[in-house]
Amino acid sequence: MEEASEIGRRAATALLRGERRVFEEALDAGSIAMRVVGENTWKELSERQRERILRAVRDRFVDSLSAPHGATGEIAWSAARPQGDAVLLFLGLRYRAGVLKTQWLLARRNEGWRVQEVVLSDPGISLTREVATALGATAIHQRDRAHEARAVAVPRVLGIAAIAAIVFFLGRRLAPSGRRILVVTAIAPAILFAVDGVLSVRRVLSEPWIVPEVLTPPAWKTLEGEALAEERRGRLDEARRYWERAVAAGAPAAASDYQLGLALKAAGRVADAKAAFARASRHSPSAPGASKELGLIALSEGNPAEARDRLRQYLAEAGPDPDAFSALAVAEANLGEKGKAVASVEQARMLLADRWRGLRLQSEVYARAGDATKTIAALRALEVDGALDRERLRSDPAYLPIATDSAWIGFLAETPTPKKSPPTSP
């Protein structure tokens, strides 16, 4: 599992740094393409057609996961678990705009572990399904080889016949020397017509399937782009109408409602956002991230029981996530489930590479659980790297449950330890 995880992390890191080749070597584009078009169809495609589809597969995965042009990204956290003979790798990809949670399925092939699938966890978007959408339901279809062979052969036969007719009728009026020049001159285009005809007919007969030279995206992709543009302009009601039109044209309904919900939540329209997230969670397939967002909203509204249930549902659907574990730990602590809160925060810490963030989070959960001793122990581990701001701790609402504890009062009254070198992430 560690070998597969390392290959997946290496491929993701390379792509986030703009090194496309390394990622493409790890991607099993052939297996993905075969699943998209069907094994029997794949076997009947020519090498030229296969390469066109492979290029579409690679482009879709690269475009979906790469950092914006001119920028780079990094892996924020990772976790893995076995899935049959394969390995499911959970990666948080950090870009300038935030962290994208992804699931990578890796399976062993003769040449080693290869990436079989990547899923954008929160909207529930499979990149393989995205490739199938890009190819379209009718983009690759069986051809009428006899009809097309006639269609490409007849114009070329007529061209050769026209050349022969010209040579015949003009040659009768020319002297023998002029006739020879005419024949020699006519041979070149006649040969070109003949060779082109033979190659064209041969290609038609050897390719039972039609694969377009340019694979155009479905119509709803344009509507989706318009919806996102309206969101950036802050015109959310217009965005909603575009999302509705996109869904009517074939866009995934859950992902559309989830994206709209995020925009509404960012704009402060919490009630509308909750309605959008609720719809996204009811669709089949659903958008797992909707459960997380509903849980976070419930937590902010003082409903820890609903928050706990929503966040547990999200973690079951989408896999581990330090932010979800952190929020779950807070909800469990608020409900008095001290042991479960500590277990959740420990799982969040295991995922985080940022030692400071993990320890600070742990201290907050211990405080919410009313354990002043463990809260202080976590904060002292932070103080090894640098002085804590005790005034900020005194006013931080996360530590209110232990505000009257004598140990906590004594800790806040201590003289700060002189600050050492800045903390670094391992």
Is residue 322 situated within a structural domain? no
Residue 425: is its pLDDT beyond 80? no
Q: Give the whole-angstrom CA distance, residue 244 versus residue 354.
A: 40
- Whether residues 65 and 180 fall in one domain: no
The domain that holds 54 is classified in CATH as 3.10.450.710
Residue 50: is its pLDDT beyond 80? yes
**Structural domain containing residue 72:** 2-141
In the listed set 141, 167, 184, which residue is the last one of a domain according to the structure?
A: 141
Give the pLDDT score at 62: 94
- Whether residues 29 and 126 fall in one domain: yes
Is residue 108 situated within a structural domain? yes
Give the pLDDT score at 426: 42
Give the pLDDT score at 422: 47
Give the chain's domain count. Answer: 2
- Whether residues 107 and 18 fall in one domain: yes
Q: Give the whole-angstrom CA distance, residue 208 versus residue 211.
A: 10
Give the pLDDT score at 186: 74
Structure-model confidence comparison of residues 144 and 291, the more confident one:
291
- Whether residues 81 and 177 fall in one domain: no
* CB within 8 Å of 189: residues ≥ 6 apart: 159, 163
In the listed set 181, 206, 231, which residue is the last one of a domain according to the structure?
A: 206
Q: What is the pLDDT of residues 330-348, one digit of tens each?
A: 899 889 888 898 888 888 8
- Whether residues 170 and 137 fall in one domain: no
pTM of full prediction above 0.85: no
Is residue 218 situated within a structural domain? no
In the listed set 164, 188, 206, which residue is the last one of a domain according to the structure?
A: 206
Rounded mean pLDDT, 225-254: 93
Rounded mean pLDDT, 256-279: 95
Is residue 170 situated within a structural domain? yes
Give the pLDDT score at 273: 95
- Whether residues 61 and 73 fall in one domain: yes
Is residue 347 situated within a structural domain? no
Lowest-pLDDT choice from 20-24, 236-240, 244-248, 389-393 = 389-393
Q: Are 45 and 53 in contact (CB under 8 A)?
A: yes
Structure-model confidence comparison of residues 189 and 372, the more confident one:
372
Rounded mean pLDDT, 250-266: 94
- Whether residues 167 and 130 fall in one domain: no
- Whether residues 25 and 13 fall in one domain: yes
- Whether residues 15 and 73 fall in one domain: yes
Q: Give the whole-angstrom CA distance, residue 145 versus residue 202.
A: 10
Q: Which pLDDT band holds residue 419 (cuts at 50, 70, 90)?
A: low
Is residue 34 situated within a structural domain? yes
Lowest-pLDDT choice from 159-173, 214-228, 252-266 = 159-173
Question: Crossing angle for the helix pair 355-368 and 338-351, nearest 10 degrees?
Answer: 170
Q: 228 is written with which tokens?
A: 């996102």
Lowest-pLDDT choice from 23-32, 270-279, 379-388, 395-404 = 379-388
- Whether residues 73 and 94 fall in one domain: yes
- Whether residues 121 and 156 fall in one domain: no
- Whether residues 134 and 55 fall in one domain: yes
Residue 420: is its pLDDT beyond 70? no
Is residue 250 situated within a structural domain? no
Is residue 323 situated within a structural domain? no
Q: What is the pLDDT of residues 114-140, one digit of tens each?
A: 999 999 999 999 999 988 887 765 567
Q: Which pLDDT band holds residue 261 (cuts at 50, 70, 90)?
A: very high
